[in-house]
Structure 1
């Protein structure tokens, strides 16, 4: 006889129950009747089962009764249908009939899905009776008690969580994570301090470390440092509190102190790889790539087959364009058979940067998983760069066919690729085609507008950007781009200033918008006001176009030497910047000018 697979899936838990009950003790007492939600048995005061011992003398029934089979089956059907209230009622009844903790757990979880904490508490009573040492039961008990504001039950449950922590020391951290449910960090810390006092754990390193994490979250940095230091002293070979202390100092914006503390710890434990990895991380944070790579190499000399170190070193080497080193790390990972898709993707980047286009395309084509699309886009760009634009465009069409939900993104990427190859008219055709399908897509409209202004089509730019602003009047990039273009390419300075002022209100520290404001003020004949905005923009990070603008403003103010110094620095930083070179040509300035 053919049995429906859905019915088989419902019977699976019952088969396990048959095996459980068939081995039951022959002297089982009469079965319990299902409890009713909301009864006295479900009160908060009886939430926790006994801390130790058997479950009130209850044992499994002698045989699998028809009532039990029916009740468990109805519970499973209800669960599959999403009727969590009915699932709770029947799982609870089945758990009482079978005296089986796993069914009580299912009753708890069903009740939680109904947002009925009192029902969950009732099922938890039974679960802890049947399995007093179940860590998950006491964790859920603590969660529910905290949400209900029942401090006494929460504290008792958290104590059991700590006692049943499993891996030594994990109980305190589990308790700290549960306390993280409280909205006020100070409350979390206060409760954990009560727990530590109640358990007389002032000399327990795990307790001190858990307290340190909560103190840091509460903004008590000094207390967190003292607690972490104490944990480290109480267990000298423990790395976690040391790493915590270093991260805490970094978060407090004390990088020198963090570095000094880390060096002290490394002297104490020179073979500790985790401390060395933290040292590499600090170097990377400080943009000291060479030093970070040296630390990775030191680690690999001792343990050459560490995949995590090899991968981090490869990424860093690629970032600083040390292609030989990156290739070596990745080939080592490849020999280990680790992270094959990441290895192929990064090796593709290595070969691409080395100018080995064919090898790069082959590697990218091996990539599967989350980087698959990115790899295919890179293949298309490489074909275009090598002159086979038609093949590149075919690949983008294939991607649109394979991933219809990302069609607009592929049109954007194809247009960008064509623009980069100097094929502006073809790029415009791509955007026109895409906008024919999605006429109100803001990203496509913005991309076409930026292309249009480069082609001298200011009216087209304005039409597309105003269409964006009709749908979204606060689209900051559209406001800024339209304002800047009107200031730069037309004499509609008042309209330009109005747009840029609105953009600046929405994003007051954006260097591009500050540059636009400086530029429109200059074009309005106010170079003195313009200088402040341009300097503020340039202070946030070097940009050749902003530097070109500032130099032009300084020149207008009669401060030619300052203008030359700004331009000279800009040429050093970006010798091929097209806009900068146009400005310098207009002023007949060269790098050798004094």
Structure 2
């Protein structure tokens, strides 16, 4: 089950994720302009661009038209499958009303229902009534309609008309927002051939290639860029990550050893190498590199990573000694103590964790977080002691019933007491049945308890009330994947969530897992590659291992299991898949 309150652990890399321009379309309403976040489609009058004749003919809606539109939109949003007739209605009223906001909604609807030829027409009609520059939406529709060559030709012509316009990378950004769709990779490849020196087109193409398994092609592009900028740390880390998350860890390691052979005493490169070693679970080597760095200007950052390596190596006294460094500000020291406390809790070292966290004063920025973490140690030792502690926290920090219930539920999950967490949430919802946030939390906890039907019941109720909430769509869809007779409906929900949140590793993994359960193993792999590279969660790793194995990549599946099982936090979730591993992967030749 997707534990959404742990999303802060996602490790998004600035060069490793597609741009979510299309996700902004999720905020569009029927109103005359788009939501404020979609600045590129806002109709702000300018002196340079007078109102077009078509825009001047825009007419207000009458009450009957608005009523029919609202009905069709509600049908479109709530259907288990997207009704094609609803899309026709949206397009019809957009053309009749010449309303930019309605055109935006109609465009989004055509994409969601994969009517790409119609999306091209809608994008052109939308542009005719809008003062905003909407060329990128036409280009996206052309690419999705398998008209890659025409899309790139349109881009070239568009840019030649006015050399003051935004460069070509704006188009690769929106194209990559639907990275998983057919036609996108081909279009960005053609765009890269036309504009080979555009940095972000290079980055976008590298990402597309790696998700689709074309690692050598991706590396060749990065090598070309590194030939021109051999000391560009972003490029170096990008190349290392492409190798590491494609499970070519030795080649990732060679990226750093070759760099440090040329620049042996560069502290920036040394620290980046230590980070790589830590992420590859070679904690001893990471510690060795960190202790050799001679750069007091970055000592705080070095200490944070050094403390983490000590914890992973069970060197708790050494980890505490890092905090004693004299040059730390109080907030920095509190932050290190808090991080140390959490790592100790993760290792079930409850007494030393409480000692560290107790050093954080009540007026610290980390006071409430530290107190909550101490509560985890109390709960682990004695439930009643934990209850008494959290009652004290609620009073000291003036927490509402909602706030303290959420904190306690998450803490009980952290100590592997999901049944107690569920009882707590049931009691709260009995008194506050309208609290949808808490109902969402209960659905996640119910799934952790194996109560899939209760989780689905809660999530269906929430979906009825908020049909366009992508988190709810994904959580419901993913939970319904556990019910073999509901796979089709589950995949429709996940498809909608993916359209709104194509950069979410949780949603992307859900899509991959659904394809896996349908037996489409090869199609699942791009989704697993993306999710794994952006969030090394044990459940995602387990899915990826099984996907690799059943797609015929047995050696890679074993390699992934061997690599990720070195990291203790992964072991619990990997154990969930243990029977499958033992029957197939680990016993195969």
Q: TM-score range by the shorter chain?
A: 0.3 to 0.5
TM-score by length of 2: 0.47
TM-score by length of 1: 0.47
Which structure has the higher relative contact order (CA within 8 Å, separation 6+)? 2
